[in-house]
Amino acid sequence: MARYPPDLDRWREAARISAEARELGVSLAVPGASRKEIADRIEAYIRSKGAEPAFPANLSRNVEAAHYTPSREDTERLVAGDLLKVDVGAHLDGAIADTAATVEVGGGQRYALLRRAVEEALAAGIAQIRPGVSVDEIGRAIESAVHRHGLKPVRDLSGHTIERYLLHAGKSIPNVGGLSGATLEEGEVVAVEPFVTNGAGRIQNGPFGNIVRFREDPGPGEPELGRLFRRFRTLPFTLRWVEDAEDRERLRHARRLLQTYPIFEEAGGGVVAQMEHTVLVGKHGPERLTALPD
Ligand code: CO
């Protein structure tokens, strides 16, 4: 039984906007650029197309693998040689796309092998996708593509199925073999996202970052928080998006209702590259929704 979203065109549109936002982010990642300005411009682009960011633009660099988004006050600037992951997503009425690219700031070649390995791993993983495929086959394909380059996949980060308003739905798409017996069905939407490192191949939690998420509806006793909940639902968001200072204060005091994401750092101090596409499990194979036409 196929599981295509009934509004598949909306998913395609969200994916195209996400892909354009990703490329905008890549083009802005030059020495001296501030991560806050890049994030603001990525998210403004998504909104200018009539979509909403599905999560704050993640601009993790070097040993940061994921979950870095700038705060409102962030003044830090990129320097030549940084390896920057641009991981972005847009949604249209809950139809979500999620996509990432890695850029070596300043155009150097120091991390060319990492970038090539992650590109090949992404292609190898996606090539396995078809109705009925075991996600373990995808993980194995990713793992062996990375090992061919003498590098390691980050084994505790994985791709994921996506459902309406659910960025991380039920199934994980591992980046190594042996972790999952799940299979994919025709019509499912999945994000495939290998992470490759020259470090230990594991992550550890760094400091808490600037990405939060409502665990649940605050309920009728909390009307002001309820208004914010209706804006963000259970998708990840950041206080950088909340213009009103009183609302930011309310959210800071509502920690029990919010999940705060730690920044994920490579456990061995390695540098991390990541690429990601949102893919439709088509009847005859994968359709890369976040690939732009050449
Ligand atoms: Co993802």
Q: For residue 242, which phi and psi values (nearest 5 degrees)? A: -95, 105
Cα 150 to Cα 197, 198, 234, distances in angstroms? 10, 8, 39
Q: Looking at the domain assignment, is residue 163 inside a domain?
A: yes
Q: For residue 125, which phi and psi values (nearest 5 degrees)? A: -65, -45
Catalytic residue among 136, 160, 265, 277: 160
Ligand 1 mean position, distance from CA 87 (Å): 8
Rounded to the nearest angstrom, the gap between the alpha carbon of residue 281 and the centroid of all alpha carbons in its chain is 19
Question: Would you state the pLDDT for residue 62?
Answer: 98
Q: Looking at the domain assignment, is residue 256 inside a domain?
A: no
Q: Tokens 């065109």 sit at which residue?
A: 9
Catalytic residue among 20, 120, 276, 287: 276
Structure tokens at 166: 């659910």
Q: Looking at the domain assignment, is residue 218 inside a domain?
A: no
* Reported pTM: 0.96
Q: Looking at the domain assignment, is residue 294 inside a domain?
A: no
Q: Looking at the domain assignment, is residue 273 inside a domain?
A: yes
What CATH number is attached to the domain comprising 49?
3.90.230.10
193 part of the active site: yes
Ligand 1 mean position, distance from CA 243 (Å): 27
Question: Would you state the pLDDT for residue 293?
Answer: 87
Ligand 1 mean position, distance from CA 95 (Å): 14
Ligand 1 mean position, distance from CA 255 (Å): 24
87 part of the active site: yes
| Domain residue limits at 40 | 8-210+264-288
Ligand 1 mean position, distance from CA 223 (Å): 31
CA distance linking residue 98 with residue 89, whole number of Å:
4
For residues 3-25, one letter each, b for 16 or more C-beta atoms within 10 angstroms of the residue's C-beta and e for the rest, the string is: ebbeeeebbbbbbbbbbbbbbbb
Sheet of 64-66: strands edge to edge?
64-66, 258-266, 203-214
Give the total number of structural domains in the chain.
Answer: 1
Neighbours of ion ligand 1 (CB under 5 A): 98, 191, 193
- Are the C-beta atoms of 197 and 126 separated by less than 8 Å? no
CA distance linking residue 59 with residue 41, whole number of Å:
12
168 part of the active site: yes
Encode pLDDT of 62-105 as tens digits.
999 999 999 999 999 999 999 999 999 999 999 999 999 999 99
- Are the C-beta atoms of 38 and 25 separated by less than 8 Å? yes
CA distance linking residue 128 with residue 43, whole number of Å:
32
- Are the C-beta atoms of 60 and 68 separated by less than 8 Å? yes
Ligand 1 mean position, distance from CA 245 (Å): 30
Question: Would you state the pLDDT for residue 2?
Answer: 85
Q: At what angle do helices 245-252 and 223-232 cross, to 10 degrees?
A: 100
Question: Would you state the pLDDT for residue 124?
Answer: 98
Catalytic residue among 87, 104, 143, 188: 87
Q: Looking at the domain assignment, is residue 253 inside a domain?
A: no
> Using H for helix, E for strand and C for coil, what is the string for 154-171?
CCCCEEEEEECCECCCCC
Positions of the chain with pLDDT lower than 50, given as ranges: none
160 part of the active site: yes
Q: Looking at the domain assignment, is residue 164 inside a domain?
A: yes
Ligand 1 mean position, distance from CA 269 (Å): 22
Ligand 1 mean position, distance from CA 278 (Å): 8
Coil, strand, or helix at residue 16?
A: helix
Catalytic residue among 20, 52, 64, 98: 98
Q: Looking at the domain assignment, is residue 245 inside a domain?
A: no
- Are the C-beta atoms of 90 and 21 separated by less than 8 Å? yes
Ligand 1 mean position, distance from CA 237 (Å): 15
